[in-house]
Amino acid sequence: MLTLIPGETRLETLEAIWRSGAPARLDRKCQKAVEKSAQIVSQAARGEAAVYGVNTGFGKLASVKIAPGDTATLQRNLVLSHCCGVGEALDEATTRLMMSLKLLSLGRGASGVRWEVIALIEAMLERGVTPVIPVQGSVGASGDLAPLAHMSAVLIGEGEALFKGKKLQGKEALTAAGLEPVVLGPKEGLGLINGTQFSTALALTGLFDAWRNAQNCLVTSALSTDAIMGSTAPLQAEIHTLRGHRGQIEVAAAMRALMDGSVIRESHREDDARVQDPYCIRCQPQVAGAAVDMLRFAASTLETEANAVTDNPLVIQAGIVSGGNFHAEPVAFAADTIALAIAEIGAIAQRRVALMVDPTLSHDLPPFLTPEPGLNSGYMIAEVTTAALMSENKHLANPCSTDSTPTSANQEDHVSMAAHGARRLKAMNANLSVILAVEAMCAAQGVAFRAPLVTSISLQSALKTLEKAAPRLNGDRYLAPDIEAAAGLVRSGALVAAAGLEFGL
């Protein structure tokens, strides 16, 4: 059981929830503030003054006053009417992360929900009741309304949920887990469906996988450098210190460490007719380092957002006040930033693959890295696959945050598009993992052709792990399973671990 501290939860905890499936609960120190805000909302619901979302309609209907006896119906209707999502269901791990983020937001004590609502979300996480949430339908303001409504519907016994591998009606799932639905009080439906937790959860998972890919690209680029007998002179620390960017400095240092002791490298320090390597080798610290810096920027934004209160209105010292924290523009910018980093890591990695299969550029490696070119095609089409995925990622990297369209009768007239901006990151990371896997396979083949010269101890360890999943290509064979197996090593972090690389976010 992981403990969430509202306002202070770190990315490491959120990644653990996503990757391990561990249940989460709020630190009990926040309960007093939660209950106090709920009391304030309850009092407002009984009063005569119109308070948005408490005793009024929503959006363009905010001017309609709701009688005290109808507040429970108002909140239930709100949740049900907003369950308009379409498309495939969000995966369970990301849904659980989304629920944990909602806990963090409600736990700040500014949303006006009762503790029993929080307790039910915690119990669902602990007992494995996972709402079925369609992935399409949010424009990222006024929050992720449709996805969060599908999550919230299960709390009131509606919608659908997964429990022990079966899809059940919401109330059936709760009953099977020994839980009871709640009857929503004033503002509670609005507090649940208003917020950026869907977009933020998707952006976080995109960040976590992008960082893992970034770590892998340090290993694969080091292998590629040895495969083509590239120079390590461009990795010298003074070059990168003179420019000053943190990511660039750290990427160069990591690559120096990975290649330290390479016999291949030492073999051509003298009498090498080549003066400079192509940019995909020489400029890896500059490109990957810039991507690392961008990912760290996005990480800072998303850690803040994960701890934020993003529903509306909020219970603050001045009373119950309407604002705009539900607008997911920070998440949209972060998602666009992550997308750019993913695309560029893949773009330069793909050029290294192209370099290695080209005998005019690979410094005496055989065409397409096969021992018998002509009879065998080797990695010819694997390189084409990386080109296709690189190009796809370039298209997907076009910004989503610059798009907007008015909704809700022009009341919500500027939106962030954070939801699909974050959702595309899963596909982009999957594409990148394959590009890096093929690079690793090509580099392994290239390094093998340099025998009896060998690469560094760290990279030899990575190659041994890779060889188990994707053996050396001595002759043409059905290659798709090897590529997928190698991509699995990239996605799991096994290749990075084998190389002994430590490179933290």
Please identify which residue in the block is written with the tokens 């003179």. 242
Please, which residues bridge with residue 319 across strands?
A: 316
Q: Is the dihedral of CA 57, 63, 69, 71 positive or negative?
A: positive
Per annotation, catalytic residue among 52, 279, 379, 478: 52
Which residue blocks in 197-328 are alpha helix, DSSP H? 197-227, 237-243, 246-259, 263-267, 279-282, 284-306
Q: Please answer whether residues 349 and 220 qualify as being in contact, where contact means their C-beta atoms are separated by less than 8 angstroms.
A: yes
Sequence-distant (≥ 6) Cβ neighbours of residue 120 within 8 angstroms: 155, 179, 181, 182
Q: Please answer whether residues 433 and 350 qualify as being in contact, where contact means their C-beta atoms are separated by less than 8 angstroms.
A: no
CA atoms within 13 A on the CB side of 47: 12
For residues 70 and 6, give the distance between their C-alpha atoms in angstroms, rounded to a whole number: 32
User: Strand 134-136 relative to strand 86-89: parallel, antiparallel, unpaired?
Assistant: antiparallel
For 327, 333, 396, 405, the CA distances from 400, given in Å and listed in that order, are 14, 8, 9, 12
**Whether 478 is catalytic:** no
Give me the active site residues, please: 52
